Amino acid sequence: MTKPLRLHEDRLFPADPGTRAIARELYGLVRDLPIVSPHGHTDPSWFSGNAPFTNATELLLAPDHYLYRMLYSQGIALDRLGVPDRKGLVSADPREAWRLFASHFHLFRGTPSSLWLSQVFTDIFEIDVRLEAATADLYFDRIGEALKTLAFRPRALFERFKIEAIATTEGPTDTLEHHHSIKKSGWKGRVLTAYRPDPVIDPEHVSFKEELARFGELTGQDVGTWQGYLEAHRVRRAAFAEAGATSTDHGHPSAMTADLSPSVAARLFEKVCSGDFTAHEAELFRAQMLTEMAQMSLEDGLVMQIHPGSFRNHNAWLFKSFGANKGADIPAQTEYVRALKPLLDRFGNEPELSIIVFTLDETSYSRELAPLAGHYPVLKLGPAWWFHDSPEGMRRYREQTTEAAGFYNTVGFNDDTRAFLSIPTRHDVARRIDAGFLARLVAEHRLELDEAAELAVDLAYYFPKRAYRL
């Protein structure tokens, strides 16, 4: 009655046999390379505490917005899936939530979630039947048992996954205690942080005021003044760098940058601190802060990441009931050519500065980002991101960026995930898609096989190491 679950070794390669053979060969060169994960959202406490994960629902379903957004779109209430509400309360029984998920697993056909989970189920939990209503309990039990074993503790998995380095992302007022504790523990796993100061940079952030106050306390700076505020950033950046960070990350609604005079910037800062500001002033302040962050990156060498273009918490009722990051962030049109100009006018030709730009608006690949990255020394293109971190999305990314930006202005793969168990499969998908793209270039005699081989390894391993200064 159950259906077999088996991953095909040629999955995701182009179907044409000649091209597939080349893809297979290229993939063979990168399949077993260590994982470099320079941007993501795993929880450092997993690696400091090394406590066992609890059960399938809490590990795989409840934290994964890719999964419950799709289930929600088909009418399944979030609380039935074990998703915590705004106060953190969970009302569903984990096994019941898992059954509900299992009986709707067909919804994920054709999506990357289905690919990722299938590989997690087979490779990590060694399950060989497909997930459906009839196998829900088998899955829940098998996963639950595995999680009790030492082999499934976070550090053991980290080593099993051959993670050479992984970056987490922390807010500006994070104490970084888990990172410190990992370091002190003597464990060899390399877990870095990244500086994501949005909560003290975005005047429209729900807890801007509180975060700013805490930012002042933590740094001992007078963050009521523009100079003190900037100094506080310098202090925290140094603390993050000390805890291993090699990058900062900025998740703004748009890519807008500004280059105001110090006195105008100071007045704007006063304005946004007062709480009495317009949406435009908030935007302008964020814009100015990107340029300030670039200036500091030039000083301290942290690579700067700009992740714009998500309309956060689009679903008002859901935000009120369940809070942020619940699958209701929607990409919006994003302009780069005019938006980045003030920053680029000031720092665009600095050989020591490195800015990695991401997009959720695929129309910017060939029109704006590849031409920009193919010219400005400071710019590099981040990989296909979020909704586009998928086989078709990654293919479009290469097809639409390579001709104007080349491969060498890209930075390899980011898994960008909080779904720890999916990290190996996410990197595997990227390696397979890149192998397939390179194979097509070889099959069409646009690239020599030896060049493709070198590039495959660069994309999978050396580019992220180099771009993130790891």
Rule CB under 8 A: which of 392-411 touch a copy of itself?
392-393, 399-400, 402-409
To a copy of itself, the closest distance from the beta carbon of 111 in angstroms equals 5
The torsion of the CA quartet 4, 9, 13, 17, rounded to 10 degrees, works out to: -100
Residue ranges in 444-463 that form contacts with a copy of itself under rule CB under 8 A: 444-448, 450-451, 454-455
Most distant CA pair in the chain, distance: 73
15 binds a copy of itself (CB under 8 A): yes
Whose tokens are 């020591």? That residue is 352
To a copy of itself, the closest distance from the beta carbon of 222 in angstroms equals 35
Residue ranges in 104-163 that form contacts with a copy of itself under rule CB under 8 A: 106-112, 114-115, 130
388 binds a copy of itself (CB under 8 A): yes
Which one, 89 or 316, has the nearer CB to a copy of itself?
316
Instruction: Count the neighbouring beta carbons within 10 Å of the beta carbon of residue 118.
Output: 20
Angle of the 112-119 helix axis to the 65-73 helix axis, nearest 10 = 130
To a copy of itself, the closest distance from the beta carbon of 143 in angstroms equals 22
103 binds a copy of itself (CB under 8 A): no
Residues 6+ apart with CB under 8 A from 86: 320, 321, 322, 323
How many angstroms separate the CA atoms of 351 and 50, rounded? Answer: 41
278 binds a copy of itself (CB under 8 A): no
How many angstroms separate the CA atoms of 195 and 205, rounded? Answer: 17
19 binds a copy of itself (CB under 8 A): yes
CA nearest neighbour of 290 among 252, 264, 263, 331: 252
Of 372, 435, 460, 470, the one binding a copy of itself (CB under 8 A) is 372
To a copy of itself, the closest distance from the beta carbon of 459 in angstroms equals 11
100 binds a copy of itself (CB under 8 A): no
Radius of gyration of the chain, Cα coordinates, nearest whole angstrom = 22
How many angstroms separate the CA atoms of 408 and 342, rounded? Answer: 25
To a copy of itself, the closest distance from the beta carbon of 286 in angstroms equals 18
Which one, 110 or 224, has the nearer CB to a copy of itself?
110
- Of 187-195, 218-226, 264-272, 438-446: span binding a copy of itself (CB under 8 A): 438-446
Which one, 290 or 456, has the nearer CB to a copy of itself?
456
Residue ranges in 152-191 that form contacts with a copy of itself under rule CB under 8 A: none
How many angstroms separate the CA atoms of 82 and 294, rounded? Answer: 41
Which one, 265 or 404, has the nearer CB to a copy of itself?
404
Of 34, 49, 189, 371, the one binding a copy of itself (CB under 8 A) is 371
348 binds a copy of itself (CB under 8 A): yes
Residue ranges in 312-341 that form contacts with a copy of itself under rule CB under 8 A: 314-318, 327-328, 330-333, 335, 337-338, 341
How many angstroms separate the CA atoms of 374 and 390, rounded? Answer: 24
Residues 6+ apart with CB under 8 A from 31: 428, 431
> Is residue 385 within 8 Å of residue 249, measured between CB atoms?
no
Which one, 193 or 354, has the nearer CB to a copy of itself?
354
25 binds a copy of itself (CB under 8 A): no
415 binds a copy of itself (CB under 8 A): no
By CB under 8 A, how many residues form the interface with a copy of itself?
94
How many angstroms separate the CA atoms of 107 and 412, rounded? Answer: 30
239 binds a copy of itself (CB under 8 A): no
Phi-psi region of 202 (alpha: psi -120 to 50; beta: other; left: phi over 0): beta
Residue ranges in 50-79 that form contacts with a copy of itself under rule CB under 8 A: 69-70, 72-75
To a copy of itself, the closest distance from the beta carbon of 232 in angstroms equals 31
> Taking CA 284 as the corner, what is the angle to CA 282 and CA 287, rounded to the nearest 5 degrees?
110
Whose tokens are 């194979």? That residue is 439
How many angstroms separate the CA atoms of 152 and 137, rounded? Answer: 19
Residue ranges in 256-275 that form contacts with a copy of itself under rule CB under 8 A: none
How many angstroms separate the CA atoms of 51 and 45, rounded? Answer: 9
Three-state DSSP class for 330? strand
To a copy of itself, the closest distance from the beta carbon of 402 in angstroms equals 4
How many angstroms separate the CA atoms of 89 and 123, rounded? Answer: 32
Locate 67 and state its tokens: 């999964």
Which one, 300 or 454, has the nearer CB to a copy of itself?
454
10 binds a copy of itself (CB under 8 A): yes
Of 1, 8, 150, 184, the one binding a copy of itself (CB under 8 A) is 8
To a copy of itself, the closest distance from the beta carbon of 250 in angstroms equals 20
Whose tokens are 């209503």? That residue is 133
